[in-house]
Chain A
């Protein structure tokens, strides 16, 4: 009976020891889990802060982009109005010169206008019908023909200027924008326009 009791006591002690061991392990796991949770919480907090920063940056960039868009739209719209008024004035000047030349041409004596008519529609952008009208002393025909030739010249002239002479003007404007602080809103425009200029300027044959 005593032996059985000892045996039972031993078993109880072993179990107590095992329970204590398991309790230690549970405590260790609890500490580890607590540390892990704290780490996760810190990571979550850091990510939340980063998200807030990103959102703030995005809002700032969006506002800037919106400002740039508004600036460019406004600039374009205003400039288009300006450009169209310049072109209308240009057309008016072309008409005035054509009319003035025609009026003076009408005053010429018939003996002064005995030249040979040279109609070659392939050599110049003139319509043979208009040339024939002028040869028949039709003033309206001359006005239209002069207008047509002047329009052709203006377009050819301006496209050649675009290749060779305007980059310096562009750079001076960009410099002005930079010093006046407007550059923040026109960076995108500068890139586009400079690229556009380079693209237009590049010619494999060196522009000849």
Chain B
């Protein structure tokens, strides 16, 4: 809740953090509880219900390069990538799921992507801003 309030605060949407916190509480309290419950449910599945448990949620840090093997694009970006340049990520909009596989003798461990993270690219955000 405080995180969302700080987002609104950092973007200058409210004069004070207290006001943005009140706004988030009024609008999204129930939804946040639901997210916490689902997060716990997913983590319990990773640790208890999948054997062996080498699964985890994935999040891509803003500013890192787009990797088609791990991520899908949120919107726009139908245009081809600029040759020799990796598009940078503006934010992650959907978490993904990864699983560590391998580890047998003579086999290296590697991450298998079960669900790609969905990201929005900086160039789409900039293009969108320019359009406005």
A residues adjacent to B (C-beta < 8 A)? 72, 75-76, 79-80, 82-84, 86-91, 93-97, 100-101, 104-105, 108, 112-121, 124-127, 129-136, 138, 140-142, 144-155, 157-159, 161-162, 166, 169-170, 173, 186, 189, 192-193, 196-197
Contact = CB atoms under 8 A, between A and B. Distances in A.
23 contacts: A87-B57, A91-B95, A93-B38, A94-B93, A94-B95, A113-B12, A115-B14, A119-B10, A120-B10, A127-B89, A140-B128, A142-B13, A144-B90, A144-B93, A146-B4, A148-B62, A150-B4, A154-B39, A154-B59, A162-B43, A170-B48, A196-B54, A197-B47
Contacts of B87: none
Contact of A93 (B7, B20, B34, B99): B34
A56 to B, nearest CB: 28
Contact of B95 (A76, A90, A197): A90
B38 A90 contact: yes
B115 A133 contact: no
A11 B116 CA distance: 107
Interface in B81-132: 89-97, 99, 114-115, 117-118, 120, 122, 125-126, 128-129, 132
